[in-house]
Amino acid sequence: MEDILSVVAFCKFQSKLYRSRLDTFGAPVERGFSLPEDDGEMRVFLRKRPIFESEIEQRGDYDVTTQLPPATAVVHNCLFQADLKTPFIQHLAFDYDHAFDEHASGEQVYRVAAQRLVSGAIRGGVGTLFMFGQTGSGKTYTMTSIQARTALDLFRGAEDWTCDAATPWLTVRYVELRGNRCFDLLAPGQELRLREQGDGTYDAGSMELVPDSPEELCAAMDMAQSRRATSATEANSVSSRSHAVCILDLCQLGGQLVLVDCAGSEWRKDSMYHSKERQQEGAEINTSLHALKECMRYLANQQKVPSHVYRASSLTKVLASAFASSARPCLSVICTASPCASDTEHTIATLRMGMSLAGRGGEREEKDMNVMGREPEQVYVHPKQWTPEEVVEWLSMVDGGQFKGSVPQNFTGAMLVRCPEARFVQLCGGSQQRGRILYNSLRQEMDRAKPKGMRSSR
């Protein structure tokens, strides 16, 4: 138990030490920061939720995620070396379009990550927002905040835009995807069938509501969210076990806004407690998320998604209007991350997925081998592996450099270690004292390169 507490204390210390060096990485992000508006681009963001007191007090958790403003997140991953006894810290840095720390407000997240989608839809385009992350990382919390602000912006100035009193300003549809089954959240209990249209998109025939104000739109979206399928997990007592897709059509402007709150990723440690049905549900969630990732990779790399790719799951079929659009789609992805040490594995998986969607390559890695506050034992190369240059360098350091030039320039380490003491005497001009000093110095280097348990006691 003491060893475990020591490892935890070590990891906490190294995380704090890393944060204490933040000044070397740049100044904090300005309060007025925002990205330039461009409705023909996919952007990927990260939002870290705060750590809760209950997690610290009841589970002994601590924060392992650090934000480096404005767009980098670092995870401090505590691992063990091959002996399974010696811990070390692996600092993994991930780059995004913007990374929000635990102090970021819902207003800031909306303004930077989602407002451009709303503006694009008002101009007649198609904007899509995806929420990714593990169970309990704050996806639905962030999505609810964004929905409320979206409702206000969509109705702001509607009177000035209205040109046809017979056509509604806005309609809302809200569907739920459980595996390959589709349900209407505005007409509870009604299962829908996806039918392909002539333009390659899919229609589920879901109910449309026509809200007349931001308040009515928020009420409809909140009602639909409350009807989602949930299940208790180790991370969250009301974990979303389905994908929720809110489709907002601006009927008079021809624009569309799609808000996708993806299901919480499955915890491996939860699976042993789940029924066969729950395990099958987790597999279907992962399958649909994989299909969605493939579609987004095609968008990032080729700006177009072939029809066979978005036909892979019901989720991507519902989103076909975003993937099959002839214009460049406007997409934002918000990855939500938990700061807890117990969630490190899942946080890293989420961040890697976000990096892959952004097309930014892999993470940057830095290892801290300072074990339990002590300097790590230095690793020595055995003299028999020395090159002639390394032999010359070593001779220049032995006993103040008095043996420099004692051996031929082409002498390798393998040749040196085979020399008996008499040969060293010969190389030192016949001086037995100098030959013995050089011989013993080499033996000390050979002994230093041995594993710790095999070194001589002298």
Kindly report, residue by residue over 206-221, the tens digit of the pLDDT. 999 999 999 999 999 9
Reported as type and span, the H/E element at residue 365 is strand 364-368
What does the block give as tokens for 233?
């997990």
Q: Which of 9-18, 192-201, 215-224, 322-331 has the lowest mean pLDDT?
A: 322-331
Q: Which of 127-136, 364-373, 378-387 has the lowest mean pLDDT?
A: 364-373
How much is the pLDDT for 281?
Answer: 67
Q: Which fold has domain 2-368?
A: Kinesin (3.40.850)
Better pLDDT: 7 or 44: 44
Better pLDDT: 183 or 19: 183
Per residue in 7-41, pLDDT tens? 777 788 777 777 766 644 444 434 344 454 454 57
* Helix and strand counts by DSSP (H, E) for the chain: 17, 17
Cα R_g (the chain), whole angstroms: 31
399: left (phi over 0), alpha (psi -120 to 50) or beta: left
Q: Which of 56-65, 177-186, 395-404 has the lowest mean pLDDT?
A: 395-404
Q: Which of 293-302, 394-403, 426-435 has the lowest mean pLDDT?
A: 293-302
Residues 382 and 385: their CA atoms lie apart, in Å, by 6
Q: Which fold has domain 383-454?
A: DNA polymerase; domain 1 (1.10.150)
Pairing of strands 98-100, 72-80: unpaired
What does the block give as tokens for 326?
């002839």
Domain ranges of the chain: 2-368, 383-454
Q: Per-residue confidence at 325, pLDDT binned at 50, 70, 90?
A: low
Cβ partners under 8 Å of residue 335, min gap 6 = 44, 45, 46, 47, 96, 132, 133, 350, 351, 353, 354
Are 248 and 154 a contacting pair, CB within 8 Å? yes
Quote the distance between the C-alpha of residue 289 and its chain's center.
15
Pick from 376, 133, 118, 115: which is nearest to 250 by CA? 118
Three-state DSSP at 254 gives coil
Pick from 162, 160, 44, 134: which is nearest to 96 by CA? 44
